[in-house]
Amino acid sequence: MASSIEIMESNLTTSKNQEEKCELKPEFDDNGSLKDDGDYPSGEFEFKKPGAWKSFVVKLRMLTVYPLQRVRKGSVLNIKLRGKITDQVKGRFSSGLSLPQICENLIKAAYDPRISGVYLHIETLKCGWAKIEEIRRHILDFRKSGKFIVGYAPVWHEKEYYIACACEELYAPPSAYFSLYGLTAHASFIGGVLEKVGVEPQVERIGKYKSFGDRLTRKNISEENREVLTTLVDNIYGNWVDKISQAKGKKKEDIESFINEGVYQVEKLKEDGWITDIKYEDEVTSMLKKKLGIAEKKKLPLVAYKKYSKIRKWSLGLTGGTDQIAVIRASGSISRVGGSFFEPNSGIIAEKFIEKIRKVRESKRYKAVIIRIDSPGGDFLASDLMWREISLLAESKPVIASMVDVAASGGYYMAMAAQTIVSENLTLTGSIGVVSAKFNFGKLYERIGFNKETISKGQFADMYTSHRSFRPDEEKLFSESAQNTYKRFRDKAAASRSMSVEKMEEIAQGRLWTGDDAASKGLVDAIGGFSRAVAIAKHKAKIPQHKKVRLVEVSKQSLSLPQILFRMMTSATGLNHLKDGLISSDGVQARMDDGIMFQGSEGSSLAVADPIFNLLKDYLNFV
């Protein structure tokens, strides 16, 4: 939907047909795959066995062009999934797992004649459900090649089992720890803590569901926040039960009984079909050797994930199109300007992002643009400036916003400038609202013997001073400013989504939605991952679906080694970006609540980390 209009007045109207369109649910076929829509093609992976000529060319390239990237015939791709997974394409000195590279490796392995199968070793994962869904989808796509994929994990929580169930076979050691007790959501509150240390947060949040700020002022959860979190947990849990039911061929009631039993004996899990067999890792290796006809004394030819990431898609005949689509990735909290070399800001820096957008807009090379967004929001001004540049880009090229784990508040603000928004079914999005705050440290200053004097000229010159609370006239100005900002956000969202302001007000108010619910409310156009975003971009650019395109990463990570070392050193001492934004004079924030944790039974965060210790440390450091 076009979104190049700047400021939208509240009298904008929409047709009845447009409002009815906003209530459409995404449709799925009997196998749970997304149905193809004329305007929003599914991008469903179709494995096509290479012909004789193409196979010959690929083999020739492997022998001559890329001799240093040789992989033995009959090798097994070994992917170890553990810890944090980012949506960034990793640079030379980067470590950790990259979602784009995990997915690309599975696609390459499906076509690589040297790869016989995949061995997936899964440990505890720390990422959101959208990334989990995308990995799971690519595992199912890989299986279309007819090659085997085996999953192994010593510890099984909800996310790990969800991914593993997409594999052909599942293995666990006799001492495996199964903890599939369901899902929880936690909301942290430090209002009582701040009260005890003498800090008074003065927070103005617009939207009854805008819970950001509650953790600073409240000691318990609000009814509105409880309503939102209950819905989110229900949606995530329901999706988990549905997909596990499909994968294991069991009734949903049996899945829920399995969760609620609470005691998991590995032998019983094998007997009831929850896992394939009980094996130690060396026994799985022996089993794979037998499957490949390799003698027990010989070594299993495993290819590590990092090494295989260096294999070029071109060498496998998976590229070759002349049409180019730009990919711009935007991950993390939003701020307007970057830091210094010694204290660099992480996340989305508006000034750098805008440079990339302008570069792509001015170039005639790109037929379409995909913006991958994984952000809880941040600085409102920065979000608006990026919205403007994306809107200008959308006037000259098709722009598709592809959401990852989170695209909420300022993250959604960016997305709504695109012509089409694609999200995963469990992406956290929406949260159309704003919050602004200042902190009164007066009582704390008094306790520690600190004094601060201010000399000012102008009625409101010192309204943001930290040693006193707002006067009534200052509080009125503060509130009106936040209200006006919210109205601009809401009205732009309404116009961008071809919706009346009244309709948008019903679904805005700072409320967080999952992707499925956002699609039914008209905030999102299509459900799917990056491959669907590519298919839609090709459709909008009038590129036939069967034709190959070149995906050009405009925002590939390219930090130098010294910068990475400095980031590691400064991360422990730098002040929290949240504090920087909220106490600044222009610190209006379009951000979802960082204090919410969606947890599985393992107790690790599925979305964003609990901030209590960092908040206290940073606030006290600042004082």
Cα atoms in the 13 Å half-sphere on the side-chain side of 46: 7
DSSP H or E run through 16: helix 16-21
Per-residue pLDDT of 442-452, as tens digits, reads 999 989 899 88
Polymer length in residues for the chain: 623
**Residue 371: closest CA among 324, 417, 426, 330:** 330
Question: How would DSSP label each residue in 599-622?
Answer: E-TT--BSSS---HHHHHHHHHHH
Which single residue is written with the structure tokens 């989170």?
406
* CA pseudo-torsion sign 344, 347, 351, 357: positive
d(CA 432, CA 402): 18
* CA pseudo-torsion sign 509, 515, 517, 519: positive
pLDDT recorded at residue 41: 87
Cα atoms in the 13 Å half-sphere on the side-chain side of 543: 20
Amino acid identity at 448: I
Examine the residue annotation and report whether 409 is marked as an active-site residue of this protein. Answer: yes
d(CA 291, CA 115): 13
- Mean per-residue pLDDT for 200-212? 87
d(CA 293, CA 412): 52
d(CA 590, CA 406): 13
Question: How would DSSP label each residue in 446-480?
Answer: HHHT--------STTTTTT-TTSPPPHHHHHHHHH
Burial bucket for residue 17 (CB in 10 Å: 0-12, 13-18, 19+): exposed
| CA 275 distance to own-chain centroid | 29
Identify the top-confidence range among 39-53, 202-216, 462-476.
Answer: 462-476
Higher pLDDT, 558 or 121: 121
585 three-state secondary structure: coil
Q: Which residues contact 385 (CB under 8 A, 6 or more apart)?
A: 336, 350, 354
Contact in structure between 440 and 469 (CB atoms under 8 Å):
yes
Q: Confidence class of residue 175 from pLDDT cuts 50, 70 and 90? A: very high
126 three-state secondary structure: strand
> Which entry of 159, 210, 279, 503 is annotated as an active-site residue?
210
pLDDT recorded at residue 22: 40
Q: Which residues contact 495 (CB under 8 A, 6 or more apart)?
A: 3, 5, 8, 12
> Which entry of 42, 98, 335, 409 is annotated as an active-site residue?
409
d(CA 64, CA 147): 26
Rg of the chain over all Cα atoms, to the nearest angstrom: 26
Is pLDDT at 623 greater than 50 in this prediction?
no
Is pLDDT at 599 greater than 90 in this prediction?
no
pLDDT recorded at residue 462: 87
d(CA 409, CA 223): 20
Q: Confidence class of residue 54 from pLDDT cuts 50, 70 and 90? A: low
Is pLDDT at 547 greater than 60 in this prediction?
yes
Examine the residue annotation and report whether 375 is marked as an active-site residue of this protein. Answer: no
Least confident among 182-186, 218-222, 296-300, 567-571? 567-571
pLDDT recorded at residue 587: 55
> Which percentage of the chain shows pLDDT scores above 70?
78
d(CA 157, CA 162): 8
Q: Which residues contact 111 (CB under 8 A, 6 or more apart)?
A: 47, 50, 145, 316, 317, 318
Amino acid identity at 22: C
Query: What ranges do the domains of the chain cover?
Result: 71-181+262-316, 324-434+501-581
Amino acid identity at 275: I
Is pLDDT at 38 greater than 90 in this prediction?
no
Contact in structure between 398 and 326 (CB atoms under 8 Å):
no
pLDDT recorded at residue 611: 43
- Mean per-residue pLDDT for 357-385? 95
d(CA 112, CA 106): 10
Is pLDDT at 24 greater than 70 in this prediction?
no
Least confident among 105-109, 222-226, 339-343? 339-343
Is pLDDT at 408 greater than 50 in this prediction?
yes
pLDDT recorded at residue 262: 78
Is pLDDT at 120 greater than 90 in this prediction?
yes
Per-residue pLDDT of 469-488, as tens digits, reads 999 999 999 899 999 999 99
- Mean per-residue pLDDT for 527-547? 95
What is the 3-class SS of 384-406, one letter each residue?
HHHHHHHHHHHHHCCEEEEEEEE
Per-residue pLDDT of 123-152, as tens digits, reads 999 999 999 999 999 999 999 999 999 999
pLDDT recorded at residue 2: 35
d(CA 440, CA 438): 7
Is pLDDT at 616 greater than 60 in this prediction?
no
Tokens of 623: 């004082």
Q: Rounded to the nearest 5°, which phi and psi values hold at 542?
A: 60, 40
d(CA 395, CA 525): 19
- Mean per-residue pLDDT for 66-89? 86
Is pLDDT at 9 greater than 80 in this prediction?
no
Superfamily classification of domain 324-434+501-581:
2-enoyl-CoA Hydratase; Chain A, domain 1 (3.90.226.10)
pLDDT recorded at residue 93: 56
Q: At what angle do helices 223-248 and 129-143 cross, to 10 degrees?
A: 10
Looking at every residue in the chain, the average pLDDT score rounds to 83
Q: Confidence class of residue 524 from pLDDT cuts 50, 70 and 90? A: very high
Q: The domain at 71-181+262-316 falls in which architecture?
A: Alpha-Beta Complex (3.90)
**Residue 512: closest CA among 191, 212, 153:** 212
pLDDT recorded at residue 429: 97
Cβ neighbour number for residue 386 with a 10 Å cutoff: 25
- Mean per-residue pLDDT for 454-463? 89
Q: Confidence class of residue 90 from pLDDT cuts 50, 70 and 90? A: confident
Q: Which residues contact 442 (CB under 8 A, 6 or more apart)?
A: 198, 200, 467, 468, 469
**Residue 410: closest CA among 381, 436, 438, 439:** 381
Q: Confidence class of residue 604 from pLDDT cuts 50, 70 and 90? A: very low
Cα atoms in the 13 Å half-sphere on the side-chain side of 444: 20
Contact in structure between 323 and 546 (CB atoms under 8 Å):
no
Q: Confidence class of residue 100 from pLDDT cuts 50, 70 and 90? A: very high
Tokens of 115: 């790869």
